[in-house]
């Protein structure tokens, strides 16, 4: 019995991740397995994965045989032509084949869209990991530098002797860049590729010579450099436990009264220690206070029997004098001196 129409054999019951979950998945892919730091990425990593992209993703097969891919520098081409294993008995290169040449002059990267970076070489917190040594609970701070942007230019050439082979390779390349760009996962980092141009380098000098085609694809990799030797792991401030003793009693400022009975003068000297902002006194000497001197005091309020007063004011036996201050530097002591005349 045949299967009904529109029958689906494979069902994807796991919905794709979107939003924050998708961003977290990207970070998880970048992080190195077994550590909390990302994997580094250097020139050789980008070269390696670009070659793998051409070999495995493009995967050109002609006449039932896989077309070999060769990564060469311009200086090695002449030497390689005589020694590579895909040559015939006369040491001549057999067609078709693909060459990859990376230009030896990487340029300043453009994947930041022309934006400027923070000057210098600062490191930034990548992750905080809790630690426990049996006694102290703390954190290790993992820091990495800002990646250095770099543009790598590659030239991919197909050498073949049939126009049909050119068309097959051209179709594969255009399909690979159908979205405008192609992303490679280099050590977990998403790195974009751009197809800059397609050119023809076929040379026919003599119609009697064997004809072959050379098609050139210029591809730009918008990469960045991240050196693992510049990663830092340092301990954060350990968690400490502080104990506070709370008392319902309010600490009042100590004071000293100086009298000069012959001159009829009186001074009230008050010291507000750190943490003390209030003074309370039950008056036992009648006087009139006319001057005040302060040190490290921003504002103050003077209450006489609960009523605000200003200079000059009279105090009598049994009155309650209350002074509340705000310090300029709260961690330091403050001083106040009231000067007046005896009655």
Q: For residue range 21-45, what is the model confidence (pLDDT) as tens digits?
A: 777 776 666 665 556 788 889 999 9
Name every residue whose Cβ is closer than 8 Å to that of residue 343 and which is 6 or more positions away in sequence: 286, 287, 288, 314
Q: For residue range 45-54, what is the model confidence (pLDDT) as tens digits?
A: 999 999 999 9
Q: How far from 320 is each of 270, 272, 306, CA to CA, in Å?
A: 15, 18, 8
Residue 77: pLDDT over 80: no
Nearest CA to 223 out of 185, 178, 179 is that of 185
Q: Mean pLDDT over residues 81-100, rounded?
A: 69
**148-160 and 255-260 as β-strands: parallel, antiparallel, unpaired?**
unpaired
* pLDDT score recorded for residue 206: 54
Residue 261: pLDDT over 90: no
Q: How far from 266 is each of 230, 292, 294, 323, 343, CA to CA, in Å?
A: 70, 12, 17, 18, 10
Compute the mean pLDDT over every residue in the chain, rounded to the nearest whole number: 82
Name every residue whose Cβ is closer than 8 Å to that of residue 224 and which is 6 or more positions away in sequence: 41, 109, 111, 147, 148, 149, 150, 189, 191
> Considering Cα of 308, then 314, then 319, then 321, what sign does the dihedral take?
positive
Higher pLDDT, 187 or 5: 187
**8 pLDDT tier (thresholds 50, 70, 90):** low
> Considering Cα of 323, then 326, then 327, then 331, what sign does the dihedral take?
positive
Residue 297 · residue 328 · CB < 8 Å: yes
Name every residue whose Cβ is closer than 8 Å to that of residue 111 and which is 6 or more positions away in sequence: 149, 151, 192, 222, 223, 224
Q: What is this structure's pTM?
A: 0.58
**Lowest-pLDDT choice from 122-131, 276-285, 307-316:** 122-131
Nearest CA to 161 out of 241, 237, 66, 63 is that of 63
List the structure tokens of 64. Answer: 């039932």
Q: For residue range 169-196, what is the model confidence (pLDDT) as tens digits?
A: 999 999 999 988 899 999 888 999 999 9
191 strand-pairing partners: 184
254/259 Cα distance (integer angstroms)? 17
* pLDDT score recorded for residue 197: 92
List the structure tokens of 256. Answer: 């000293």
Exposure string of 196-229, with b = 16+ CB inside 10 Å and e = fewer, is eeeeeeeeeeeeeeeeebebbbebbbbbbbbeee
Q: In what order do the strands lie in the sheet with 232-235?
A: 123-132, 137-145, 232-235
Sole residue written with tokens 């730009």: 220
Cis-peptide into 137, omega within 30 deg: no
Q: For residue range 218-227, what is the model confidence (pLDDT) as tens digits?
A: 999 999 999 9
Nearest CA to 211 out of 170, 173, 163 is that of 163
What's the length of the chain?
Answer: 343
* pLDDT score recorded for residue 177: 92
What is the DSSP code string of 181-240? Answer: -EEEEETTEEEEEEEEEEEE----S-TTSPP-EEEEEEEEEEEEEB-GGG-EEEE-PPP-
Higher pLDDT, 304 or 91: 304
* pLDDT score recorded for residue 111: 78
């Amino acid at each position: 019995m045949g299967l009904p129409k529109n029958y689906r054999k494979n069902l994807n019951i796991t919905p794709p991740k979107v939003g924050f979950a998708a961003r977290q998945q990207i970070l998880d892919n970048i992080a190195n397995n077994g550590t909390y730091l990302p994997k580094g990425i250097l020139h050789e990593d980008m070269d390696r994965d670009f070659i793998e992209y051409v070999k495995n993703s493009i995967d050109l097969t002609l006449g039932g045989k896989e077309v070999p891919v060769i990564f060469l520098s311009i200086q090695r081409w002449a030497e390689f032509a005589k020694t590579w294993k895909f040559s015939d008995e006369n040491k001549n290169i057999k067609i078709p084949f693909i060459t990859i040449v990376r230009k030896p002059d990487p340029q300043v990267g453009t994947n930041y869209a022309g934006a400027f970076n923070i000057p210098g070489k600062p490191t930034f917190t990548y992750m905080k990991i809790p630690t426990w040594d049996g006694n102290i609970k703390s954190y290790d701070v993992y820091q990495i530098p800002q990646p250095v942007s770099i543009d790598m230019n590659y030239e991919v050439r197909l050498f073949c002797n049939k126009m049909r082979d050119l068309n097959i390779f051209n179709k594969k390349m255009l399909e690979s860049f159908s979205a405008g760009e192609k992303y490679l996962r280099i050590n977990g980092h998403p790195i974009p590729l751009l197809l800059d141009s397609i050119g023809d380098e076929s040379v026919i000098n003599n119609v009697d010579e064997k004809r072959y085609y050379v098609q050139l694809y210029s591809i730009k990799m918008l990469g960045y450099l991240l050196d693992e030797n510049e990663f830092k792991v340092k301990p954060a401030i350990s968690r400490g436990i502080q104990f506070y003793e709370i008392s319902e009693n309010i600490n009042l400022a100590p004071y000293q009264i100086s009298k000069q009975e012959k001159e009829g003068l009186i001074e009230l000297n008050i010291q507000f220690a750190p943490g003390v902002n209030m003074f309370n006194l039950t008056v036992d000497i009648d006087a009139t206070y006319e001057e005040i001197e302060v040190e490290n005091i921003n504002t103050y309020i003077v209450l006489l029997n609960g009523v605000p007063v200003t200079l000059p004011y009279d105090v009598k036996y049994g009155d309650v004098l209350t002074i509340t201050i705000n310090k300029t530097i709260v961690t330091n002591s403050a001083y106040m001196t009231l000067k007046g005349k005896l009655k």
